[in-house]
Amino acid sequence: MEFCCQQIIKEHLIINEEISSEKNIFPVKSVFASVDFTKTECLSDLQKYQLDEENKKNREAIILKNPDAFKDLKKLTLFTTPYRPKMGFSDYGFHTLNFQVDHNAAPNGQLTDYFCGTRTYDWATGNHGGTDYILWPYPWKRMEENLMEIVAAAPGIIINKRNNFNDHNCSNGGNPNWNGIVVQHSDGSTATYMHFKKNSATEKEIGETVEAGEYLGLAGSSGSSNIPHLHFEIHDSDDNLIDPYKGDCNPTTTETWWQEQEDYYVPRINRISTHYTETQDSECPVIENTYERVNFNSGDLWVLKLYYRDINIGDVTQFKVYKPDGTLFSSWNWTQDWGVFYATAFGYWTMNVTNNWPQGVYTVEVNFGGNTYNTIFGVGTNLGIEDMASEDIRIYPNPVQDILYIDHFKNIQSAEILDFSGRILLNNIKSGEINVSGLTKGMYLLKIKNLRNEVKVVKFIKN
């Protein structure tokens, strides 16, 4: 059925191209870290057979109760994305796509995915048969936050449901006790959604219908798994494996099964953030400490981290750090030259904060893959420590003219507006509707502290 995953982090010192800095301030240490995963067989052939028999038995029971159950299904349409972030998520990304279906029947590292690449794996007696979407970064933390919601890719009837097994597994011992859902579509094909968080599955039971986009569960690490992710696997009415992605090396179908097939390469930064240490937690199944910080003082170590999805050899990342007055503080480039493509990776760049760093709020701008990413940090300000776990809290509209709204204000302990010098302009905010009409046009910071004392700092523009 699939392999499961354990983080293997390999760090490499890298060299930047220094571009510009008025006081020759550039990173003193730069590191690129590739993230790989152990790969061992999960379900044995016997376990796969037992699952197929269980599905057939459930099908027969559904038909016995309602002979027209499958005849009345909505016609199968092309698939929608089988996952989504929870409402209010506002970061750049939350997952990577690490493993596709292996179309090369030869064992032991003979790999071919639908795109004729090697983003897949096999073992001595089998091949990976699905697509794995892995939470990234901070997979265990984001699992606890219920970040990745699994949804039906197409309408159908639930023919299998598992919901009560442990969801913090860290080994690939062939554990068949996974949580998840199997949905049969109108043409007889099935979609298997595996590794749900315990007790997160839909309240609907076997025999009930679901619509495309309907909630099925939450990403977890149940069964033979050691990182929170979704394994998505398709079989046709004759139980033949189907790879839903169209490609020159996919013999299972000549047309895509997706409404909008995602590109094979999606170069993206899922998260950009500042930290007070280089440390990166990766122990399974420990909920990660992010070690993030947004305010620094002279003598502190400043660490900028980027969490990548899909970074290829030759890809360029461009960095610019702007001072509180908006002028350029430092800029540099880095070209990925570590030999191969990585679906999951991160990098960090460190500097020592000195008295040459003007006080106030800085902006970091990073360009990668044709997109621009931003974060902020302060030097000698009262921004405080930012954990960014309160991603269910969002502000809108942005840009704003008169009234700025804060979602879920009941979960907020305090909120205040600052300018980029770190000066507090408005505090003691008592409502989720803030009148900002008195502010002059420009960029501001909204600092929010939730009831868990986690702080989120958001930029907004006043028009």
DSSP class per residue in 297-340: -TT-EEEEEEEEEEE-TT-EEEEEEE-TTSSEEEEEEEE--SSS
Domain ranges of the chain: 8-34+272-388, 39-242, 390-463
For the record, the structure tokens of 350 come out as 């460190």
Domain covering 390-463, topology:
Immunoglobulin-like (2.60.40)
Strands 433-435 and 180-184, by their bridges, are unpaired
Residue 140 pairs with which residues in a beta bridge? none
Q: Which residues contact 458 (CB under 8 A, 6 or more apart)?
A: 90, 395, 445, 446, 448
CA distance 407 to 71: 43
Compute CA distances 52 → 164, 273, 453, 461, whole Å. 20, 45, 48, 55
> 208, 157 in Cβ contact below 8 A?
yes
Per-residue model confidence (pLDDT) at position 272: 94
Please report the pLDDT score of residue 392 as a whole number.
61
What would the DSSP string read from start to end of 138-161? SHHHHHHTT-EEEE-SS-EEEEEE
Can you list the positions of beta strands (E) in 190-327? 190-194, 209-210, 215-218, 229-235, 241-242, 268-275, 295-296, 301-311, 316-322
Tell me the CATH class for 39-242. Answer: mainly beta
Coil, strand or helix: which one is 270?
strand
Does 390-463 match 8-34+272-388 at the fold level?
Answer: yes
Bridge partner residues of 344 (DSSP): 309
Q: With beta carbons less than 8 A apart as the criterion, state whether 32 and 14 touch.
A: yes
d(CA 139, CA 145): 10
In the three-class reduction of DSSP (H, G, I as helix; E, B as strand; rest coil), residue 50 is classed as helix
The predicted pLDDT at position 350 comes to 98
CATH class of the region 8-34+272-388:
mainly beta
**Residue 458: per-residue pLDDT:** 82
Q: What is the pLDDT of residue 385?
A: 52
Contact 345, 367 (CB under 8 A): no
How far apart CA 149 and CA 202 sit, in angstroms, is 11
The answer to whether the beta carbons of residues 312 and 341 sit under 8 Å apart is yes
Report angle CA 289, 293, 297 to the nearest 5 degrees: 140
Q: How many CA atoms lie within 13 A of 230 on its CB side?
A: 30
Report pLDDT for 3: 36
pLDDT in tens, the chain (463 residues): 333 446 788 999 999 999 999 899 999 999 999 998 777 676 777 888 899 999 999 999 999 999 999 999 999 999 999 999 998 787 899 999 999 999 999 988 899 999 999 999 888 888 889 999 999 999 999 999 999 999 999 999 999 999 999 999 987 667 899 999 999 999 999 999 999 999 999 999 999 999 999 999 999 999 988 899 999 999 999 999 999 999 999 999 999 999 999 999 999 999 999 999 999 999 999 999 999 998 999 999 999 999 999 999 999 999 999 998 889 999 999 999 988 999 999 999 999 999 999 998 899 999 999 999 988 999 998 776 544 444 567 788 988 999 999 888 888 888 999 887 677 889 889 889 999 999 988 888 898 888 877 777 888 888 8
Residues in Cβ contact with 219 at an 8 Å cutoff, skipping those fewer than 6 apart: 83, 133, 135, 143, 147, 148, 149, 150, 195, 196, 197, 228, 229, 230
Does this model's pTM top 0.75? My answer is yes
Give φ, ψ of 124 to 5 degrees: -65, -30
State how far the Cα of 203 lies from the Cα of 347, in Å rounded to an integer.
41
Hunting for tokens 């798994």 — which residue is that? 225
